[in-house]
Amino acid sequence: MANLFFVHTPLELLIAQQIINQEKLTDNVMLCGYVGGNKHFLDIYRLTIISSMWMERVLMPDVAGWAAIEKRHLLKTALRAFRRYKEICSLLKVYRIDTLFLGDMNNFSCKFGAKLFKKKGYRIVFFEEGASHYNFHIHPRKGGYLLNKLLAIFFDCFYYLPIYHFRFATYCFLKDLPFSELPIDLRYSVVPYYHEDFDKQIRIERLFSNDLIQFLDSEVSKFSDIESSILFMSQNIYESLGNLNLYLQVVEGYFSTLDSTSILFIKFHPREQEEERKAVIRIAEKYHLAFHILSAQMNIPVEYYLQYMKFKEIVTFFSSTAMYNGYLFPEMKFTFLLRPFYDLCKICNEKNISQLENLLSLLDSCQNKQKINA
């Protein structure tokens, strides 16, 4: 029997290959796609994949949202979801799959897929995709409760029950399915945050494809004394929390403290837009910092760099990378900008303050757990 891995980000591929290596899994099939317009993820997969681990790779560009129903296109997206369901069923049959590996417990398609295929007798395994793995997300619903309730009743009666034989429209139109209600046979985590009977920690090894080694060598070999340099991991946290101007104020506050003789490596988040990246670069230029953009041409996960080299200091707002310190890569010094960002957002009465507080609490919890497990 074989394993089907649902992969829609480069970090998921990194974690998937760690699991395959640790458990000595054979007959692995990757169903890969990307989030939003990030088609360049496919190039990153080609660079980082270790081909000997995979029996087959199948492309489904919208794999991250294969089951999603959009209000603006109810019929169109429902039909698309049914087509994707049939395609997945075909893969399960062709490759004699018995275990599904799903990578995001907050993703609607992963939640629906877990419920659907568990009822069909498949083994369901979740593995992490980043901070989302440790933090339950509540997705806002538009349209008002009455409309959403009517849609939920209609879709259960005429879509979910007739086709899939169970109700699920509530979790599409009204609320998010809690982690506790997910059918989980096994859950892999890098950080030992969960402690249910089905939880298992991933023991990380350095696993690089030959192409990835050549890429990293070509990018950083010209720099000497990297261990005295600083890595700034930019992040698009401002899309849902605070705003870009407040974010840039915090970045400038930190950059203004740096010595112009230090080497500053900047790693942008894959979903940051060009104008937002330029704004950060302008701040570095304003303070005459010697800086270099990592992954300027191909935005591979920063975790590969942290396994490949050691920095004097890593600066970030909040990301799963910070929680992986000492787990996914050798332990390094981290400086967090989430607290000053939160303070500034609170002063300015910005949106989603409670979500920022949850992130601060999660960060503190993970750091405490890290100390306990050290």
Residue from 111, 106, 129 nearest 190 by CA = 129
Let me know: does 265 contact 230? Beta carbons within 8 Å.
yes
Give the pLDDT of residue 24. Answer: 98
* Strands of the 313-316 sheet, one edge to the other: 290-294, 263-267, 230-233, 313-316, 334-336
Handedness of CA 160, 66, 111, 68 (dihedral sign): negative
For the chain, 374 residues long, give each residue's pLDDT as a single digit of tens: 899 999 999 999 999 999 999 999 999 999 999 998 889 999 999 999 999 999 999 999 999 999 999 999 999 999 999 999 999 999 999 999 999 999 999 999 999 999 999 999 999 999 988 878 988 889 989 889 999 999 999 999 999 999 999 999 999 999 999 999 999 999 999 989 899 999 999 999 999 999 999 999 988 877 766 667 899 999 888 887 878 999 999 999 999 999 877 789 999 987 788 999 999 999 999 999 989 999 888 889 999 999 998 899 999 988 778 778 889 999 999 998 988 988 988 888 887 788 888 888 877 766 665 555 55
Let me know: does 300 contact 9? Beta carbons within 8 Å.
no
Domains defined for the chain, CATH in brackets? 2-139+176-201 (3.40.50), 210-372 (3.40.50)
Tokens of 273: 């837009």
- Is the model's pTM score more than 0.85? yes
* Block residue for tokens 């003789």: 261
What is the DSSP secondary structure assignment for residue 176, as one 8-state letter? P
Exposed / middle / buried, residue 232 (Cβ in 10 Å: 0-12, 13-18, 19+): buried
Q: List C-alpha distances in Å: 196 to 111, 187, 200, 250, 253.
A: 19, 9, 9, 38, 42
For the chain, percent helix, then strand, then coil, each to nearest 5? 50, 15, 35
